[in-house]
A and B are shown apart, each in its own frame.
Chain A
Amino acid sequence: MNNKFRSDNRVGWLMAAPALTGLALFIGLPFLLALILSFTNLKLASPLPLTFVGLQHYARIIQDPVFLRALLNNLIFAVVVVPAQTGCALLLALLVNRKLPGMVVFRTLFFLPVIFPFALISVVWMLLYAPGPNGVINSVLELLTFGIWEPQDFLHNQFLALPAIMVVSIWQGAGFQMIVYLAGLQDISEELYEAARLDGANSWQQFWHVTFPCLRNTTLFVVSVTTILSFRLFDQVQIMTKGGPLNATATVVFEAVRAAFERQQIARGSAMTVVFFIIVLCLTIFQRRLVREDRRVG
C-alpha cells in the first residue's frame, strides 16, 4: 500500500502537471496580475516609472457614469435575457421532443445558430437591422402591422439598441440550451406520465406537475450559465454598436477592453476586470446557495 501510494504520488503529479501548469500560468497568474496592476498607474508602452496609486482607479470607476451605465446594462440584459432565453429553450425542447416525422430536421434548424460565431452573427444582424423602410426587419414589421410600423434605426436608437442585441443573443444561444433541456426531458421516466394520466391529469397538468419539477436541476443549470454569459457580453457590442448610442449598450467587459486596448490604460482596465470578477463571484455564490437550499427543501 505504501509502495502504491508513492508510485501514485509521482504518476499523479506527472499526469496533472501539464494542466495545472497551464491553469496557473494562464488563469492564476493573470488574475493576480489584474489585482496588482489595478493599484498602479500602468499604461501600455508608457515610459513613465511604475507607481502605486492605491484605490484610485476603483474610486474613479464607481463614480464614472459610463461604467455605472455599463453595469446597469449588464443587469438589464441579464434580467431580460435569462428568463427569455431559458423559456425559449424549454419551449423549443418541448416542441421537438416528439416522435413525429421530420423532428430531426427541426431540431437541427433550431440548433444551427449555435455553430455560428457571434462575430458573424453580429455582422449579419447588422444588415437585418438596417434602418429605413428597406431594412429587412423594418419591412417585415411594416408588412405585419399593415404599414403602421415606422421604420427605425434599431442600432442607433437608445431604447432599441440593447433590445436588438438581446434578440440576437437569445436567437444564437437558445439552441444550445434546447439540447440541454432535451437531455433533461429524455431522462424523465415514462412511468411518471402514466401515473399522472391514471390520475386524470391533462397535458398542461402533466407538464406542470411532472415535467417541470423533474427539470428543476436542468433549469437551475441553464439559468446560472445564462446569467454569467450575460455578464460576459462583448462580441455583439464591439461589432454592432461600439457601446453606443449614448452608452445604451456599453458593458463592463466592453469598457474594460476600451480602456486597456484603445486608450492603453491597463491599470484602469484591470480594475474594471476585478470588479467584473467580483460580480461573477457573487452571482455564483448566490446561485450555489439557492441550489443548496432548494435541495434541502426538495
Chain B
Amino acid sequence: MLMQTKKTFFLYAVHLFLSCIFITLLGCTPEAESNKQLITVWAHSGQEGERKVLMDQVQRFNEEFPDVHVELTLLPEGSYNSQLQSAALSHDLPDVIEFDGPFLYGYVWQNQLQPLDNLLPAAVQADLLPSIIKQGTMHDQLFAVGMFDSGLGMYGNKALLKAAGVRIPASVDDAWTEAEFNQVLNKLAAQDQDGAVLDLKANYRGEWFTYAFSPIIQSAGGDLIDRQDYLHAEPVLAGKEAVSAMTTLRDWFQQGYVDPNLDDAAFVEERVALSWVGHWEYPRYAKALGDKLVLLPLPNFGQGSKTGQGSWQWGINADARHPKAAAQFLAFLLRPENILAMTGVNGAVPATRSAVVRSPLYQEGGPLRLFVDQLRQSSVERPRTPAYQVITSVFQQAFDEIRNGADVQKALHQAAAAIEQDITDSEGYRSVPRS
C-alpha cells in the first residue's frame, strides 16, 4: 500500500513537472504591455565597479523618467561580439547596444544602427571629445557615443625601477626606445628573483591583444590594414616594420621577461616592475602601490610612441521602437556627473570636455594626464572597416602563435592573407542598402 502511494506520488510529481515545462515553453512571451516605453539595453559586464555604477544609473534613470523603463542585460566580455552578431541575424538586438568601439563599422555595414545626429541634443554632441566623435562616425554620420575613451600605457613600480637604475620617462616624446626598453628589461631581470619583470596581461582574452599590441606595429611604421582603401593587409601587416616589432615582442616572451600573470596579481604583488595595461587597472594599482605607482608611455619602435584608443560605445538599434526615449537614456549617461561616476571607478578618460576638467585624475597635473596627452597626439584608432571583426580575430591568432615562438614573418603573412581573403569574399564590404 505504501509502495503504491509512493509510486502515485512520484508519477504525479513527474506529471506536474512536465506540465510546468510546457507552460514555461509556451509562456515565453515578453512582459505584459504597460503604458511605459520599454527600452532594452545590452552592455558588457566589465569590472565590478563598472557594473555597479551602470546598474545604479539605470535605476536612477528609471526613477527620473517614469514613462520610460530601461531593462539592462549584462553579457560577459569573452565572446561579446559573437553573441551580438548571432542576435543581429534574427534582428534580436536590443534597443540600445553597447559594443567595443571598432566593431561599430560592422554593425553599420549590416544596417543595424541608426544615426544619432538628429536624436542627441546638439549641446551634448558638441561637448564630446574629438576622439569619441571620430570613433563613432561612419559615412559622415554619428552612430555611436561613449561615456569614456581609453588610455593604454605602462604602469611602473618606481621603487623597482629605481633599484634597477633605469631612466623613468616623463612624457610621450620621452618614451623609451625599443633598444632602451630591452635594456630596461634586462636590468630589471638582473634584480628579479625569477626574471619575469613585465606584465603584458597574458591572462586576458580576446580583443585585448589587438588593442594592446597593434600600437607597437604602428610605432614601427606598419599597421593592421592599409588605411588608404581598407583592402590590403599584406604590405603593412607582414612588412619588415611589423615583423621586426613583433619579433621583439616574441623575444620578451622567449627570454622569460613576461609574467604569465595567471592570478592577475603580478603587478600588485610586486612580482613585476612594469604592467602594460589600460586605464581600468588604475584604481586597483593606485591602492596597492600608492606613491610607488608611475604611468609611462609605451616604448617607441621608431615612429614615436603609439597607443590605442577607443572604448565601449553605445548605439541605437535601427529597429528600436522608441528611438527618442533611447536617445534620452544616452543623453542621461553623458551627463557630466554620470560620466564622472563611471570614470571614477574604471579610471577611464571622460568622454566630454566638461567632465575632463572636473576629473581629478585627468586635469592638468593629474596622475593620468598622460592618457589625455596621448589621445591628443599619439593614439591610433583601430581600423574603421567592417572587416575589423575578422582582422582582430586573425591578429589574435597570429599573436598567440608569435607569443609561443612561431616564425613571425610566416604568422603575419598568414594573418594578412586571411584578412584579404575575407575582404574579397565580402566584396570589399561594399555598402548594401537596407532591404
Contacts and interface: CB of A to CB of B under 8 A. Distances in A.
A247 interface: yes
Nearest to A151: B194
Contact of B393 (A66, A246, A263): A263
Interface string B231-262: 00000000000000000000000000000101
A263 B422 contact: yes
Interface string A123-148: 00001001110000000000000000
Give the interface centre of B109, B110, B432, B435 by most chain A CB atoms within 10 Å.
B110
B8 interface: no
Interface in A233-250: 242-247
B190 to A, nearest CB: 19
Interface size class of B (residues with CB under 8 A): 20 to 34
Interface stretch (B83-91, B220-228, B335-343): B83-91
Contacts of A41: 425
B262 A130 contact: yes
Nearest to B109: A47
B110 A45 contact: yes
A262 B82 CA distance: 5
Nearest to A129: B262
A46 B405 contact: no
A258 B262 CA distance: 24
Contact of A246 (B112, B401, B427): B401
Contacts of B401: 244-247
Contacts of B110: 45-47
B389 interface: yes
Interface in B392-435: 393-394, 397, 400-401, 403-406, 414, 421-422, 425-427, 432, 434-435
A264 B426 CA distance: 11
Contacts of A264: 85, 389-390
B141 interface: no
Interface residues of A, dominant DSSP: loop
Interface string B105-127: 00001111000000000000000
B426 A48 contact: yes
B406 A246 contact: yes
B251 to A, nearest CB: 16
Contact of A45 (B85, B262, B434): B85
A132 B260 contact: yes
B89 A263 contact: no
B262 A47 contact: no
Nearest to B81: A262
A158 interface: yes
B425 A245 contact: no
A22 interface: no
A65 interface: yes
A242 B404 contact: no
A47 B432 contact: yes
Contacts of A132: 194, 260
A158 B109 CA distance: 39
Contacts of B406: 246
A246 B250 CA distance: 13
Contacts of B432: 47-48
A130 B261 CA distance: 10
A280 B394 CA distance: 28
Given A45-B110, A261-B79, A244 B404 contact: yes
B209 to A, nearest CB: 11
Contacts of B434: 47
Given A153-B260, A245-B403, A43 B426 contact: yes
B205 interface: yes
Q: 4 shortest A-B CB distances, which residue pairs? A: A245-B404, A47-B432, A45-B88, A244-B400
23 contacts: A41-B425, A45-B85, A45-B88, A45-B89, A45-B110, A45-B112, A46-B110, A48-B426, A48-B427, A65-B414, A66-B414, A130-B262, A156-B260, A242-B400, A243-B397, A244-B401, A245-B401, A245-B403, A245-B404, A246-B401, A246-B405, A261-B86, A262-B393
Interface of B: 79, 82, 85-86, 88-89, 109-112, 194, 205, 260, 262, 389-390, 393-394, 397, 400-401, 403-406, 414, 421-422, 425-427, 432, 434-435
